[in-house]
Amino acid sequence: MESDREAILSAYNSVRADQLALCDALESVADSLPSSIDRQTCLQLARAIKPLMARAHDIEEKQLFPEIRRQSQFHVSSDTVLEAFLQDHASDLYYSDEVSEALMALGRGQPSPSLEATGYLLRGFFDGLRRHIAYEGRLVALLRQPDRAN
């Protein structure tokens, strides 16, 4: 139903904005290395990252992707694309664990791994997440179009 789709898109938009804000915050931390670290922010981000990723994956995998699969207007197999997104989610989840631990260590004033390696880890994570969100957004844009099949 149209209203269901609106609700799904609204939930997705909200979690998408939160994830992009997370990427910006992680970029600020990476930019603050090595000498301007806000330890309190690191601790807050360390605690927030995994619940946010879990919320995003829950909304996408239980609501958004099934809605995309229901659409008949896609010219490429949505299964192939969604499979790649699911692999991204698995990898993001794995890295969010490492990023959370590295932020926690930064926040405690005991960087581990090294500051340089932490910077690479943060940048690798938010670059990948932004890319994933951009690709996902292109597919979601198709859901916003009138469903020509119905």
Q: Which is nearer to Fe ion, 29 or 136 (CB)?
A: 136
Please report, as residue ranges, which positions from 107 to 136 form the binding site for Fe ion (by CB under 5 A). 136
Nearest to 64 by CA among 88, 50, 82, 84: 82
- Least distance between Fe ion and beta carbon 133 (Å): 7
Under rule CB under 5 A, residue 92 binds Fe ion: no
User: Nearest approach, Cβ of 135 to Fe ion (angstroms)?
Assistant: 9
User: Least Å distance between CB 136 and Fe ion?
Assistant: 5
In three-state form (DSSP H/G/I as H, E/B as E, the rest C), the secondary structure along the chain is: CHHHHHHHHHHHHHHHHHHHHHHHHHHHHHHHCCCCCCHHHHHHHHHHHHHHHHHHHHHHHHHHHHHHHHCCCCCCCHHHHHHHHHHHHHHHHHHHHHHHHHHHHHHCCCCCCCHHHHHHHHHHHHHHHHHHHHHHHHHHHHHHCCCCCC
User: Minimal distance in Å, beta carbon 132 to Fe ion?
Assistant: 6
> How many residues of this chain bind Fe ion (CB under 5 A)?
2
Instruction: Identify whether the C-beta of residue 69 lies closer than 8 Å to the C-beta of residue 97.
Output: no
Residue number with the smallest Cβ distance to Fe ion: 60
Write down the least CB distance from residue 19 to Fe ion, Å: 8
Query: Which of 15, 19, 45, 60 lies at the binding interface for Fe ion (CB under 5 A)?
Result: 60
Closer residue to Fe ion (CB): 68 or 136: 136
Kindly tell me which of 43 and 59 has the beta carbon lying closer to Fe ion.
59
**Sites of contact with Fe ion (CB under 5 A):** 60, 136
